[in-house]
């Protein structure tokens, strides 16, 4: 799941929009993973 910072930002904002978040509201790792059908543990491992 390697991607550039810009691509990651686009995906993050895509998920925020789809989940109805306001600009000041953030997503959890779980919400992001669920939206894209990913395992949250895979995301944690990529961040380490």
For residue range 1-14, list pLDDT tens digits in order: 678 999 999 999 99
Our count of domains for the chain comes to 1
Domain of residue 29 covers: 5-47
Using the Cα atoms of residue 47, residue 16, residue 25 and residue 32 in order, give the sign of their dihedral: negative
pLDDT tens digits along 2-47? 789 999 999 999 999 999 999 999 999 999 999 999 999 998 998 8
DSSP code at position 23: T
Per-residue pLDDT at 2: 78
On whether the pTM is more than 0.85, the answer is no
Angle between helices 40-47 and 29-36 (to 10 degrees): 120
């Amino acid at each position: 799941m390697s991607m550039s910072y810009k691509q990651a930002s686009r995906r993050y904002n895509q998920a925020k929009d789809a989940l109805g978040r306001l600009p000041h509201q953030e997503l959890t790792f779980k919400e992001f993973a669920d939206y894209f059908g990913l395992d949250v543990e895979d995301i944690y491992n990529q961040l380490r």
